[in-house]
Structure 1
Amino acid sequence: MEVDKEVRLLLRFYNDLPQKATDLEQKFKDFGKIKNENYFVKTSKNHAWLHIIGPKKRYYSPHLHLEFESTSENETHIRGLYGPDQMLWTFFMFLHFMIAGVFLVFCGILYSNYILKNSLTLDFIVLGLMVFCWFLLYFIARQIRHNGNDQMKELEKLYQDIIAS
């Protein structure tokens, strides 16, 4: 998977396997029962999450969410989604909402100043800064995803190893 050429930040993949969904779910449950100092597997119904833990975990460490869907008696469609750590994702969403809130407030102030024929310079400067901050957050997120690329490959290998077991 070539992550640096993707525009979207959350990478996805799809996989069709000639195995029953219940068998695959059981493989992940069994692996989750084994104590591993580097990985943690959590399962719930037809979902599995693979996390990096311990000394290998960094702020940019991704996790892998898998969803199992039975397409026929002996075939399963797997949807995989790589995502950032939940704390980091929540922080980025907080920043996005703050920037959007400031942007909307200054759009209202800009309109008011335009109607009142006041100076609009400060309003346009703040709006420009908010747009710049949005692009900055995007490029920071891309850099974080790039830093976690090797760990994404580790999670993909772990996923393949669990399925092959």
Structure 2
Amino acid sequence: MKLQNEVVLRPRFKLVVPMPVTEVIERLQTTPGTASTIYTSILDGHIFIKINKEERHFWSPHLHIESEETDDNQTLLKGTFGPNPTAWTFFMFLHFVLAGCFLAAAIWCYTNVVVGVSTRLPVIGMVVIVLLWIAFYVLGRLGKKKAEPQSRVLYEFLQARVSHP
């Protein structure tokens, strides 16, 4: 799998398929309730490929694909791997909370400097917040590593369904 950037938490790729969008969508549809480890949902040219609930864990990836028809009956598939949207939203919420707390601690520190009071507590708070940010980043990278085998399964499913004419 060739990804555009290895550093990002949500890897992306592009794939050109020599068939129209309707055929791509037909090939990617799965029957609900089958014993397959993968299921798909399709909505207006957006294809969501996911791991079944029985095999899913907190870090299980989802593959979101946007399909665009190009010239000569070809389809451009733009894929994005990412965590469960609920987990991703919560993760981003925590980052915004930390950013707000850091800003509040910086204002508190500045106020203490102006008034001439000790800045020890706000500085400790800012250091702790920075350490938490680093911990969240490391946690995200570890989650990406844990999701990598399932990401490969999703990508191989996509390749198997759209590569053979």
Q: TM exceeds 0.5?
A: yes
Bigger Cα displacement from structure 2, 85-94 vs 8-17? 85-94
Change in 2 beyond 3 A, CA 1:13/1:164: same
Determine the structure 2 residue equivalent to 1:110: 109
CA apart distance, 1:139: 0.6
Tell me the secondary structure at the aligned position of residue 59 of structure 2. coil
Determine the structure 1 residue equivalent to 2:42: 43
Determine the structure 2 residue equivalent to 1:74: 73
Larger helix proportion, structure 1 or 2? Answer: 1
Tell me the secondary structure at the aligned position of residue 34 of structure 2. coil
Gaps of 5+ in 1: none
Which segments of structure 1 move beyond 3 Å, counting only runs of 4 or more?
A: none
Tell me the secondary structure at the aligned position of residue 145 of structure 1. helix
Deviations 1:100-125 (A, max 9, x none): 11111111111211211211111111
Q: Percent identity?
A: 30
Determine the structure 1 residue equivalent to 2:23: 23
Tell me the secondary structure at the aligned position of residue 14 of structure 2. strand
How many residues are treated as equivalent by the alignment?
Answer: 162
- Distance in 1 of aligned mates of 2:26 and 2:38: 17
What one-letter code is carried by the residue in structure 2 that aligns with 1:70?
E
- Distance in 2 of aligned mates of 1:142 and 1:93: 14
CA apart distance, 1:91: 2.3
- Distance in 2 of aligned mates of 1:58 and 1:118: 49
CA apart distance, 1:164: 3.6
> 8 Å contact 2:32–2:39 — kept in the other structure?
no
CA apart distance, 1:133: 0.8
CA apart distance, 1:2: 7.6
CA apart distance, 1:94: 2.2
Tell me the secondary structure at the aligned position of residue 61 of structure 1. coil
Determine the structure 2 residue equivalent to 1:33: 31
What one-letter code is carried by the residue in structure 2 that aligns with 1:148?
A
